[in-house]
Every structure is written in structure tokens, then in C-alpha cells.
Amino acid sequence: MKSFKNNEKLGAALSVVGILLGFLALYLIAVTYIPIVEGKILDGRPDEAITVRIVHAMMGWIGMTGSAIWAVVLYGFLNKKEWAWSLGVVAGTLQLLSGFFPMIPPASIGMPTPTIWVFLIAFVLWFGMLFIGGVNNKIIALAFVSGLAYVMIFIDGVGAISRYQTVQESALIGMYAMGLVVTWWAATAWAVFIYALVVGKNWTIPAGIFASSLSIIAGLPVGLTDVVRLRRFSMFLPGPLLSAILLVVILLPGTKKLINGWIAENEAA
């Protein structure tokens, strides 16, 4: 992958793809929006139909915002700006989410999942930016796993919208109401950590501690409540559990040495 490093022409080409990807996300989410809502209603899940109305619109907003960021990235590559690839990572991170989550509701009722193309293309763009930036392979691996936590904890917030509408107990309603927003804060914190990690910011480790801790605090109580209430494993748990594992990993001496070494390398460059 060394041939990709500092390749401004490749970066510019990928940026154009990223700009167009926002339009693709807009189109695919728009044409499937109401059919998925109606499908959820026919499936007997009006709560999930309301959730789709809210969250799919958000995914469209995020995908289009990513497209605008790619326009700035294109400017950066054309003018040989050092920051271009790192901003491309931000755009890719947004569009990965805008392509991934809209696959889940239609898949659950046997409908097509066309936004998989948004996800796959964003996946290529995200890795492309990291290779152009010459990011250490071990840092890329940590960023990738952190990206899984980013997606999982965001989905916890989506699930809380449905639970909020269906539970009857006042305490649970309150818990899901609070868990919804805080899990999305946690997802945002993971996105910030990923950026800090790949760029080599000196506050990377504190950012990782915050992101993982907030994910645990927001997701674990909701997940355990679901286990007790439904007497089965809760899909709210993978996000906070992975975040707990990442917290331990980030604090390991070897990981801290890796991150601090990457920070020092970037500061010296």
C-alpha cells in the first residue's frame, strides 16, 4: 500500500466518487423510505415504522453532509494540502453509517437493501484515505474495530426509539429516553476518537477512554434491563461490551506505546 501514500491524484479521484456517493445515498434512501415504513406497519411494528421515519431521514442528512465534506477534500487534494486525506476519513466515516444502518430495517422484513452499495463504496473510500495518509497498519486495525463500536452504539440509540414507544413502565420509558441521546453522543465520541487516532493527536487516548466509557454508561444499563425484562440476550449489549473491550485494549501498555509512537511520528513529520 506504500504506492498509495501521498497520491494526490488518487485522492482527488476518490473525492469525486465521495461527492457522487452522497447523491446515491440521497436517492436510495428516498425511494425506499415510505416502502420500508409501510412494510414495518404491515409487519405489525408501527413503532419501528416511526423509527424508520426519523432515522432514515437522518441517514440521508449524514450522507449528504459527507458529500459536501468530500468537496472540501477534493479542493485539498487538488491543492496538495496535507490535511486532505484526514478530512476524507471524516467524510467516509459519516457515509459508512449512512449506508449501513438503512440496510437493517428492510432486511428484517425481507425487503431489498440497496444502500449496501453506499456502505461498500464508503468502505473503500475510508480505507483509501488511510492508505493515502500512510497510516500505520496497526493503527488502521484499531480504527476499524473502533468503527464497529461506533456503528453498534449508534444502533443502540435507534433501538431505544422503538423501546420508548412500546414499554409501559415509567422507569423504563425514562431510561430509554436518556439512553437514546447519550448513545448517539457516544457514537460521535467514537468518530472523534477514530479521527484523532489516525491523525495522531496527543489527546487520542483520553478521547478513547471517553468514547468507551460513555458507550458503557449509556448502553450497558439498557442492555441489562432488556436481558432481565425479555429473559434473552439483548442486541443492546454488543456495543457497550465491545466498548469495554476497547477500553481495556486502549489502556494496555502495548497499545499506549503504539499510539504514542504514532503521535510522535506525526509530530516529527
Residues 7, 121, single domain; the answer is: yes
Q: Which of 106, 134, 162 is the last residue of a domain?
A: 134
Express each pLDDT in 96-153 by its tens digit: 999 999 999 999 999 999 999 999 999 999 999 999 999 999 999 999 999 999 999 9
Residues 77, 28, single domain; the answer is: yes
Task: Report the candidate in 156, 147, 206 with the shortest Cα–Cα distance to residue 184.
Answer: 156
Measure CA of the first residue to CA of the last residue in the chain; give whole Å: 19
Write down the pTM of the prediction: 0.92
Express each pLDDT in 215-246 by its tens digit: 999 888 888 877 777 777 778 888 999 999 99
Q: Which of 82, 115, 134 is the last residue of a domain?
A: 134
User: Under a CB-based contact definition with an 8 Å cutoff, are residues 74 and 20 in contact?
Assistant: no
CA distance 25 to 18: 10
Residues 129, 81, single domain; the answer is: yes
Written as one letter, the residue type at 254 is G
pLDDT(5) > 90: no
Q: What does the pLDDT average to over 12-36?
A: 96
Residues 3, 17, single domain; the answer is: yes
Residues 217, 87, single domain; the answer is: no
Residues 65, 110, single domain; the answer is: yes
Residues 114, 147, single domain; the answer is: no
Q: Which of 109, 134, 159 is the last residue of a domain?
A: 134
Residues 24, 94, single domain; the answer is: yes
Task: Report the candidate in 175, 215, 192, 184 with the shortest Cα–Cα distance to residue 58.
Answer: 184
The 3-state DSSP class for residue 5 equals: coil
* Residue in this structure with the C-alpha cell 478513547, named with its chain if needed: 208
CA distance 233 to 237: 8
Enclosing domain of residue 68: 1-134
pLDDT band at 2 (very low <50, low <70, confident <90, very high): low
* CA-to-CA separations, 255 to 29, 35, 261, in angstroms, rounded: 39, 46, 10
